Amino acid sequence: MLVDYHTHHYRCGHAEGQLDAYVEAAITAGLDEIGLSDHSPIYHLGPDPQPRPRTAMSQHELPAYVAEMEAVRERFAGRIPVRLGVESDYVLGWDEHYRALWRQFPLDYVIGSVHWLGGWSIFDPNLPPGRTPDDIYAEYLHTTQAAARSGAYNIIGHLDCLKTSGHIPDLSITPLLEETVRVLVESNVVVELNTSGWRKSIADCYPRAELLACCHHYGVPVTLSSDAHAPQHVAGGYAAAVELLRAVGYREIAVFAQRERRMVPLG
């Protein structure tokens, strides 16, 4: 089986296309399932329901997003299974907020992604004042561990995304990185092989091959995603992704329904 569990659409303000267009693209690409997972609203930056336009949907949009996903799932019933998801931020200390929030909606899965270290976006090319690449890297990994342990998520998104703007000082597997992978196993979460990095200037998938191999070594299950921000991104890079998954030893991928995981053959 092949699936794409990480897709965005117009509501976040920086992706294009309607939900339907992503589902149509998945059918055209021959996928067995498509997951919808737009960016969760931002809650940790204060009371403003839309503190960062063009980053994520407004807090007011969340119920409408879930209702629209349900309608799309109905429309495509019998053609392709449409899984209902969200890419949720994880912010240190906000565990109960996100656990409680995602219990309120009938989702098939939740991707937990570390996009923020407090008020600092990991996509900011400038480090916060007084910080070094090494201590940002450590904070990012500790935050990723906390996301896994929070119990709010099924999938941990784009595991080494901090590299996107150049903030990983040492690309070898460090003890803290291996510790993080062991926390993923203990926390019963899945990682995604996210092909979107191949579309960006970093030209590398998330996680990079060495880290993906480390995930396989410790027994972290994997799923497959493009992090599509336009319908034509759906299933992008999948030939190389399947080859990489097989090369590091994966033979199965994880799929989700009503937040329950099932393993299916890869390919």
Rounded to the nearest whole angstrom, what is the least distance from the CB of residue 175 to Zn ion in the complex?
A: 26
Cβ closest to Zn ion, residue 47 vs residue 168: 168
225: contact with Zn ion by CB under 5 A? no
Rounded to the nearest whole angstrom, what is the least distance from the CB of residue 194 to Zn ion in the complex?
A: 8
DSSP state of 233: G
- Label residue 83 exposed, middle or buried (CB < 10 Å: 0-12, 13-18, 19+): buried
**How many Å apart are CA 231 and CA 228, to the nearest integer?**
7
User: With contact defined as beta carbons under 8 Å apart, do 245 and 209 qualify?
Assistant: no
Size of residue set near Zn ion by CB under 5 A? 1
Of residues 23-52, which lie at the interface with Zn ion (CB under 5 A)? none
Cβ closest to Zn ion, residue 30 vs residue 166: 166
**How many Å apart are CA 79 and CA 73, to the nearest integer?**
10
Rounded to the nearest whole angstrom, what is the least distance from the CB of residue 72 to Zn ion in the complex?
A: 19
**What would the 3-class secondary structure string for 47-90 be?**
CCCCCCCCCCCCHHHHHHHHHHHHHHHHHCCCCCCEEEEEEEEC
Residue nearest to Zn ion (CB): 113
Cβ closest to Zn ion, residue 14 vs residue 217: 14
Give the residues across from 1 on adjacent strands.
Answer: none
Cβ closest to Zn ion, residue 113 vs residue 225: 113
Of residues 147-186, which lie at the interface with Zn ion (CB under 5 A)? none
**How many Å apart are CA 249 and CA 187, to the nearest integer?**
21
Rounded to the nearest whole angstrom, what is the least distance from the CB of residue 117 to Zn ion in the complex?
A: 14
Of residues 97-116, which lie at the interface with Zn ion (CB under 5 A)? 113
Residue among 28, 194, 53 at smallest CA distance from 111: 194
Cβ closest to Zn ion, residue 230 vs residue 266: 230
Residues that bind Zn ion (CB under 5 A): 113
